[in-house]
Structure 1
Amino acid sequence: MKWILALLVAGWLGGTSGAWAETSLDPAPDRFVAGTSYTLGFWVLQHGTHPYEGELSPVGLRFTRPDGESLTFPGTPLPEAGHYAASVVLPAGDWKIEGLQGMFMPHQAGTVSVPGGLKAEPVRKESIDGFVAQGVDYWGAVRPPGFPDLPAEPAPVARATAASAPPAPPSDPLPPSAPPPSVTSSRVAGAAGVPAWTLPLAAAGGAALAAGGWWLVRRRSADDEEPPPRDPSAETIVISG
């Protein structure tokens, strides 16, 4: 009775709007061989567009053969939101792959043939469109298959205010005004304010004094010299008969 009630609750949750998720597989090895261990990465996204906000348990991959044999491998959370990895070892046969998604209903993720290759279910276009429309990117370089990088939001443009605006550069100083024209005066500031017209007279007087001094020196020199001796023959008068 309890398991019937659990199935009814799970079915109700799966059918309720918003209570569903999708599992998508990462790129897998090219070939699977029976009895060999492989690691498969997979994503569990609510609505197929974003990680579930909370803890999901159990999460893993379930492989089922047409004869009813089923193998379940638990998933280990990886650093990226909604990303898991499971180590699987399969016997020979054709297997259907389902993602176990905690409280959400299992979701078919692909098929694999052993020996042979794995074929993953493609990510629905509606899921990628929904991811782009919501405008929130949850991942970096490692992201679900087919999910594009969303452009970064432009940085807000800072508006300049009176407080934040840089100070205006100082304006060029005005060129110094020309000095006022000098006032011509009839008096030249000489020693003790002597009038300009007296300067030529002073110069002429100085020249006259210098000439007079030179004449006196020459006169004294002439007086000090002895006269040359007289020649008596020069004063003899000869009278011829």
Structure 2
Amino acid sequence: MKWILALLVAGWLGGASGAWAETSLDPVPQRFVAGTSYTLGFWVLQHGTHPYEGELSPVGLRFTSPDGESLTFPGTPLPEAGHYAASVVLPEGDWKIEGLQGMFAPYLAGTVSVPGELKAEPVREESIEGFVAQGVDYWGAVRPPGFPDLPAEPAPVAQATAAASAPPPSPPPSRVAEDTGVPAWTLPLAAAGGAALAGAGWWLVRRRETEDEEPPRDPSAETIVISG
């Protein structure tokens, strides 16, 4: 009977080892006052290293006092993966802060005294090391506290696209002339010859027009003089 119970416990621990999450808070106000609204940003990361691939519900922050009073504030998803925000208003007292993580168990995120200071639980070093080891970065400038910006190489597809969009280089003029079978030094002579032929043709046309014109008549030749 004992070995059966041991197997059941071992199986439960093995299944739970891949199903947990951690909640960490963004930087918070220095002092909390009763009856005042504050917006708290927080991150819910599976295994403490990466966003959960799916929809988590409910997600929020739960505040519990030593006498058992509990206040829950729902989280609103932010643009960054795994990032949420909750607007909270607390009465006076000491409160334990837990992150509600959907199907994952609640996670202790910090404590707060009202009026007074909120003390957030530090991000586990193991979670940051696991994030670096997996080598995948999910965020830009806005990222979980303590998580470094991993270096990334440019995408090969982007490089190929940029190279394909560049216009091909034009060959030098001398190569253009050689590729067409005409020596480059003949181009100026051909241009000069064309100009000479055009000039000669204009001269011939002008000469023919001059020959076709009637010569001017002498007015004195048509005058009749009658002498007295």
Match of 2:23 in 1: 23
Match of 1:80 in 2: 80
Deviations 1:62-108 (A, max 9, x none): 00011111100000000000000000000101100000000000000
Q: Rate the CA distance shift 1:151–1:75 in 2: closer, same or farther, 3 A.
A: same
Q: Which amino acid aligns with 2:59?
A: V
CA RMSD of aligned residues (A): 2.7
Q: Rate the CA distance shift 1:13–1:55 in 2: closer, same or farther, 3 A.
A: farther
Q: By how many angstroms is 1:16 displaced?
A: 1.4
Q: Following the alignment from structure 1 to structure 2, what is the Cα–Cα distance between the partners of residues 144 and 134?
A: 16
Q: Which runs of 5+ in 1 are unaligned?
A: 1-11, 159-165, 174-241
SS of 2:146 mapped into structure 1: coil
**Normalising by structure 1, what TM-score?**
0.60
Q: Following the alignment from structure 2 to structure 1, what is the Cα–Cα distance between the partners of residues 28 and 115?
A: 14
Q: Following the alignment from structure 2 to structure 1, what is the Cα–Cα distance between the partners of residues 59 and 48?
A: 15
Q: Rate the CA distance shift 1:70–1:59 in 2: closer, same or farther, 3 A.
A: same
Q: Following the alignment from structure 2 to structure 1, what is the Cα–Cα distance between the partners of residues 29 and 124?
A: 22
Q: Rate the CA distance shift 1:141–1:28 in 2: closer, same or farther, 3 A.
A: same
Deviations 1:205-234 (A, max 9, x none): xxxxxxxxxxxxxxxxxxxxxxxxxxxxxx
Q: By how many angstroms is 1:17 displaced?
A: 2.0
Match of 1:185 in 2: none
Deviations 1:144-194 (A, max 9, x none): 000010001255598xxxxxxx89999999xxxxxxxxxxxxxxxxxxxxx
Runs of 4+ in 1 over 3 A off after TM superposition: 12-15, 154-158, 166-173
Q: Following the alignment from structure 2 to structure 1, what is the Cα–Cα distance between the partners of residues 34 and 15?
A: 37
Q: Following the alignment from structure 1 to structure 2, what is the Cα–Cα distance between the partners of residues 39 and 101?
A: 18
Higher alpha-carbon Rg: 1
Match of 1:38 in 2: 38
Q: Rate the CA distance shift 1:137–1:76 in 2: closer, same or farther, 3 A.
A: same
Percent of residue pairs identical: 90
Match of 2:59 in 1: 59
Match of 2:212 in 1: none
Q: Rate the CA distance shift 1:122–1:92 in 2: closer, same or farther, 3 A.
A: same
Match of 2:96 in 1: 96
Match of 2:126 in 1: 126
The residue correspondences of 1:102-181 to structure 2 (distance < 5 A) are 102-153=102-153, 156=156
Is 1:69 matched up with 2:69? yes
